């Protein structure tokens, strides 16, 4: 069986397993990688970009290399190769867990239990929940659903289509490192620089595909394109900007504005500010459904792209 078909079958199977089972509750490979990366950081940390780059190379390079060895071991066994691709896809995508967490917070808000929503919000994003009211929590959830659709699903599928199992694993490793050390805190401003920049590069194609698919699947294509073109470049993140802006336009809401991370307040530009309205609790479900449609379309696009590449190479 050709490599392009192995990816198509394996990625589809992995997404089906994610839909049915969500993330593994115990022994999650990403959690194991995180513990290993934390251990490496405890030995390598210096307030220096070079040491941070070494940390990124050791962790992301080691995970990608191990995935490459595993893929090489099954390259002449199609069934095993499909199974490995499915397992890797299931391990690195998180669309179902993303939707479940978002809906749980939405349910708490709908019931008027803002304290429970605040308690659950850290499962979804790193914002300070105590500073947020119900409407701000709903906005944070919609923004997190948008950004994580790219980070937790589409980006991984893009790199899986380009690089097979090593691409899937490598992308997830880079994204996880960015979440761990890539933020602008005093400890990680220099040490996390390499992880943050590598994540920007790795996330670029997936973010643009996510934005395109949100335009196609959101039911408001003109509004989504207008918000993307007008506001994406104003966002501090080169990849979150297109994704959140296109979701904002597709949903007809305003995203962005003032937020707090670990005691640090950021004043971000408002996305889709002229045409959108404030986020409502009911928009959480709409965002989750849009995320699911985008994920399914991303699988189709990436599988088709891999098949086309395989035919040209063949």
Quote the pLDDT of residue 116.
Answer: 96
Q: Quick check: 312 pLDDT over 80?
A: no
Choose the weakest-confidence range: 13-27, 62-76, 139-153: 13-27
What's the confidence (pLDDT) of residue 140? Answer: 94
Strands 255-261 and 264-271: antiparallel
Is residue 252 over pLDDT 90? yes
* Band (125; pLDDT cuts 50, 70, 90): confident
**Least trusted range by pLDDT, from 33-42, 178-187, 274-283:** 178-187
Average pLDDT, the chain: 93
Distance CA 280, CA 286 (A): 10
Can you give the pLDDT at residue 260? 63
Structure pTM?
0.94
Give the whole-angstrom CA distance, residue 56 versus residue 170: 11
Q: Average of pLDDT values for 84-102?
A: 96
pLDDT above 80 (res 59): yes
Is the model's pLDDT at 261 over the cut of 80? no
CA dist., res. 288 & res. 308, Å (int):
30
Model pLDDT, residue 314: 56
**Terminal alpha carbon distance of the chain:** 12
Of the candidates 140, 19, 142, 181, which has an alpha carbon nearest to the alpha carbon of residue 89? 19
Structure-derived torsion over alpha carbons of residues 151, 152, 155, 161, reported in degrees to the nearest 10:
170
Q: How far is the C-alpha of 255 from the C-alpha of 248, rounded, in Å? A: 6
Q: Is the pLDDT of residue 221 over 70?
A: yes
More confident residue, 190 or 307: 190
Domain ranges, residue 298: 3-313
Is the pLDDT at 265 greater than 70? The verdict is: no
Model confidence at 262: pLDDT above 90: no
Q: What is the mean pLDDT of residues 93-122?
A: 96
At 71 the pLDDT is 97
Per the structure, the count of domains in the chain is 1
């Amino acid at each position: 069986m050709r490599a392009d078909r192995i990816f198509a079958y394996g990625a589809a199977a992995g997404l089906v397993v994610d839909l049915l089972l969500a993330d593994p509750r115990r022994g999650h490979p990403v959690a194991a990688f995180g513990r290993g990366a934390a251990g490496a950081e405890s030995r390598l940390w210096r307030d220096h970009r070079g040491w941070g780059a070494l940390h990124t190379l050791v962790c992301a390079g080691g995970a990608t290399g191990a995935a490459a060895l595993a893929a090489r071991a099954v390259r002449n066994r199609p069934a095993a190769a499909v199974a490995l691709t499915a397992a890797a896809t299931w391990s690195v995508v998180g669309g179902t867990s993303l939707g479940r967490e978002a809906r749980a917070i939405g349910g708490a808000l709908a019931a008027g239990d803002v304290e429970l929503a605040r308690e659950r919000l850290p499962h979804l994003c790193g914002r300070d929940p105590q500073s947020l009211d119900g409407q701000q929590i709903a906005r944070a959830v919609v923004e997190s659903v948008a950004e994580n659709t790219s980070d937790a699903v589409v980006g991984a599928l893009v790199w899986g289509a380009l690089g097979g199992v090593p691409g899937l694993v490598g992308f997830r490793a880079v994204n996880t490192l960015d979440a761990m050390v890539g933020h602008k805190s005093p400890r990680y401003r220099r040490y996390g620089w390499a992880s943050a920049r590598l994540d920007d590069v790795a996330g670029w194609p997936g973010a643009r595909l996510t934005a395109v698919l949100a335009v196609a699947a959101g039911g408001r294509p003109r509004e989504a394109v207008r918000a993307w073109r007008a506001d994406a470049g104003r966002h501090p993140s080169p990849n979150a900007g297109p994704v959140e802006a296109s979701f904002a336009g597709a949903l007809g809401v305003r995203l962005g504005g003032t937020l707090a991370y670990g005691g640090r307040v950021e004043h971000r530009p408002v996305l889709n500010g002229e045409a959108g309205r404030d986020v409502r609790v009911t928009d959480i479900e709409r965002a989750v459904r849009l995320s699911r449609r985008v994920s399914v379309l991303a699988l189709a696009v990436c599988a088709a792209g891999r098949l086309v590449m395989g035919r040209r190479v063949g």
